[in-house]
Structure 1
Amino acid sequence: MKLLITGGAGFIGSAVVRLAIARGHEVVNLDALTYAACLENVASVSGSDKYAFEHVDIRDRAALDAVFTKHKPDAVMHLAAESHVDRSIDGPADFIETNVTGTFNMLEAARSYWVQAGKPEGFRFHHISTDEVFGSLPNDPEVKFTEDTPYDPRSPYSSSKASSDHLVRAWHETYGLPVVLTNCSNNYGPFHFPEKLVPVIILNALAGKPLPIYGNGANIRDWLFVEDHADALLLVLEKGEFGRSYNIGGENERTNLELVKTLCAILDEKRPKESGSYADQITFVADRPGHDARYAIDPTRIRTELGWRPSVTVEEGLERTVDWYLDNQPWWQALLDRKGVGERLGTKA
């Protein structure tokens, strides 16, 4: 199968690119190479005869049409998006332009190509989204997001992703475009851009800097190892039912404080300080505006219909992640000078 993967130089997208090629798929990686993208993420497969790269922005409809005409993909996996909540608070326009208008352009380019090709039965458009579109959950372990949970986005980022989800469903209902959707929980793992919580904690710890935790650290997230996520995404692409959405979770709920303390314990073992623990560097900072209290995925649908579940616990995944960052300093060192990295963002509200 030839896959057109948007955002394939990003964190999740690159994991999908690497896994897809390892499984024998052809991949066209379409990426605008904005601040969070890095072609080093796909360096291990870039020499493959099954890999092609197109430096294209999804806001450029004409360029998208040219890519579809040139490569004639069998399926689309749409991951390209602005994704950092704090940046969306400071500059929401980029999120609307990329996540909403960009998704509209992708849908129209895909629809045009699909119609001109005679509406081949095997074609599909897989839209990858987030659990943040569902809003915030109470601290009740019995209450989780399902595919039928009403949308209630509370940040510019989650609102833009909710909008894109609605567009994808509308293109299926109105035009018959064969689509599948997925909404995932918080990802972590190798190649994670160093502005998100897990890499920030690892790199600040190693640098002897404070380990910032918003509010009191009680916010709960369901943590999903990125390589497990890539596996689930390819499964949904291949076997998911058209017009249907699938929630993908790690089944690993942790408070932010628990997660940070776990990372500190792993670092204490693997690269101990001269004295004390990395946990001594934990610092509580002013909370993010509109910070959702809890996210948690009910993965019943993807488990029962497609037979998928995560392969690692959060502790196992975090250990693998720490090992990767310890072994790949040249990768993350080169990214620390990019705009906004290391700064406190999302305070303009």
Structure 2
Amino acid sequence: MRKILEIQKQLLPDLMEILKKRYNILHQIKLSELVGRRTLATSLGMTERVLRAETDLFKEQGLIESESAGMRLSSAGEKLVEDLESIVKELFGLTNMEERIREHFGLQQVLIVPGDSDVSPMTKRDLGLAACKVLRKVMGKDDVVAVTGGSTLAQMAEQMTSMSPMKTNWFVPARGGLGESLEYQANTIASMMAKRVGAQYRLLHVPDLLSDEAYQSLMQEPNIHEIVEFIRRARIVVHGIGDAFAMAKRRRVDQQTVDSLRQDGALAEAFGYYFDRNGNVVHKMLSLGLRLEEIQQMQVVIAIAGGASKGEAVHSVLKFGRETVLIIDEGAANVIVKILDAEEQTEVH
């Protein structure tokens, strides 16, 4: 299969580009389930005129069905997309990128989904679905799974519908709650995941950012102490990766700390720790929940992030080197590979 694809790329490059474009359209319709042309065009970065020509072709081929509310895939369209998914990673060059990133950072597994979350919200949904599949494979009986907050983890929680009931499993927040939308908080995500798979959950009702005095006081509370210790028993953690300054803003960090982060070269944030370009921890938030030493001892650390804008941040956290599984989109992967290329050229010279 790989040899045939390489021949096609050389002899029929235009055909390959058309195939990529048409797969992306059908894939986006599949993710949306039902979508209008204008919304789809915006999501794909296409004009409605160009998209109309493609969808008219799909209708003629019986791949999509139209109704007043929008378009959806027909059963034939569903099967075609399913069949294409097995070769699309080769087609987009994603398989090679997965292996290169995996080898470079010593990861157990790297999964790259097509698209860029910065451009298409539907790609974030695909990321969530991929993360669900990974979690389903690594999660065993009686496992405690810690999760962080954020929009990508929230999307993952939305996709967790097909796992069999896991009554002996627990979902817990990795840390306290950020001062942000309720649906993006770790507590909300942990409870939603648990409910969707028939598991149990525990919540940590404390702020994410604490003063030293508040931290010491809360840890003296027996209930809080017991829940924190339970969270630290987690075997699996699923976490997002954020831009350092976007996360500092979400956490309402004071200006003095922001200035300090900038001076120290902070680039990325994950589970309350800030990392520079070389993967060094340059700042940590005083917070209840998982500490770095627990994360370093965990058997499974799953990182999930998407968008070209997150590429540098993901690279920074990978340099720290505690992840076992990485799930990213094509946009982030392209940036990471470019950084690796630049590093290799620097080493040569």
TM-score, normalisation: structure 2: 0.29
Higher relative contact order (CA 8 A, sep 6+): 1
User: Bigger radius of gyration, 1 or 2?
Assistant: 2
- Write 1 or 2 for the structure with the bigger share of helix: 2
